[in-house]
């Protein structure tokens, strides 16, 4: 098994840089926000963070490609390889621009189609989560204050805490009825949204987090953290990994039932 310790250490360095930039702009009175062609917002903090991360990767990982939300794909400057860094400079930009502290920088390293390193840094929450294949999953303010994390052992949907982003996407995809059904059957449901629900799955605080539509940069960093914590991460078809454009992350024990309910056209009783 390949060791990704050096790459994970670099991800922390990248996150340190990102945190210093984003926190300096968080709740800034002169924060500049524009609408992208898809009408989602982008702030000057998003672009500054991604530029800084790309600059460091260009110096330290010139053989790796980079994909970022704001500036797209950049091929490796030296050689042709299978490694690619995937960056979301600020996941939760709408929260960021409104002064809500639930946002994070997402940093992933992929080998081919597989995320092998993932780091999520939420400086306004004072928390960071990270994992690498074969290294386990951890959370804390920094590596010197790290705690191993693990998904929960809850095995019944009626005992589960269920998490999602919002209901609009499920309505647009024609899956609102099964979403409402699963929400009625679970012990508790909350729309924590964005990266945060997935990290709560990895920590064992909730049992499932689902989203119907995502881009690769939204999800690549989350996969190693959930799976190294003992959970499962697939798209709505049940395919593992981040490439399916949707996400179902669970503690593993409830994964099959959650998938079945979300893809069912009918409503079942528990």
Annotated binding site: 69, 88, 90-91, 218
pTM: 0.94
In whole angstroms, give the CA distance from residue 76 to residue 83. Answer: 9
Annotated binding site for Mg(2+): 69, 88, 90-91, 218
Contacts of 2 (CB under 8 A, 6+ apart): 111, 116, 133, 134
DSSP state of 235: -
- What is the structure's pLDDT at 265? 58
pLDDT tens, residue by residue, 59-116 = 999 999 999 999 999 998 777 778 999 999 999 999 999 999 999 999 999 999 999 9
- Whether residue 270 has pLDDT greater than 90: no
pLDDT tens, residue by residue, 6-42 = 999 999 999 999 999 999 999 998 999 988 777 688 9
Contacts of 97 (CB under 8 A, 6+ apart): 31, 33, 41, 43
Find out whether 189 and 231 touch, Cβ atoms under 8 Å. Answer: no
- What is the structure's pLDDT at 176? 93
204: exposed, middle or buried (C-beta count within 10 Å: 0-12, 13-18, 19+)? middle
In whole angstroms, give the CA distance from residue 137 to residue 226. Answer: 8
- What is the structure's pLDDT at 269? 37
Give the chain's mean pLDDT: 93
H helix count then E strand count, the chain: 9, 15
């Amino acid at each position: 098994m390949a060791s990704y310790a050096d790459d994970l250490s670099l991800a922390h360095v990248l996150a340190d840089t990102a945190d210093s930039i984003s926190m300096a702009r968080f709740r800034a009175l002169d924060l500049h926000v524009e609408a992208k062609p898809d009408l989602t917002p982008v702030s000057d903090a998003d672009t500054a963070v991604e530029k800084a991360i790309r600059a460091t990767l260009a110096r330290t990982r010139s053989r790796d490609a980079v994909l970022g939300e704001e500036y797209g794909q950049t091929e490796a400057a030296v050689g042709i390889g299978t490694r690619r860094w995937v960056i979301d400079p600020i996941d939760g930009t709408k929260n960021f621009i409104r002064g809500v502290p639930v946002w994070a920088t997402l940093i992933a390293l992929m080998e081919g189609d597989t995320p092998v390193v993932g780091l999520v840094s939420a400086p306004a929450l004072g928390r960071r989560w990270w994992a690498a294949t074969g290294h386990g999953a951890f959370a804390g303010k920094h590596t010197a204050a790290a705690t191993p994390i693990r998904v929960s052992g809850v095995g019944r949907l009626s005992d589960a805490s269920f998490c999602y982003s919002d209901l609009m996407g499920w309505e647009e995809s024609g899956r609102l009825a099964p979403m409402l059904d699963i929400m009625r059957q679970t012990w508790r449901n909350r729309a924590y949204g964005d990266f945060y629900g997935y990290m709560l799955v990895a920590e064992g605080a909730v049992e499932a987090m689902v989203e119907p539509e995502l881009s690769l940069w939204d999800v690549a960093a989350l996969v190693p953290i959930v799976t190294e914590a003992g959970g499962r991460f697939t798209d709505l078809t049940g395919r593992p990994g981040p490439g399916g454009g949707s996400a179902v992350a669970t503690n593993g024990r409830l994964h099959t039932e959650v998938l079945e309910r979300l893809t069912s056209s009918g409503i079942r009783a528990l």
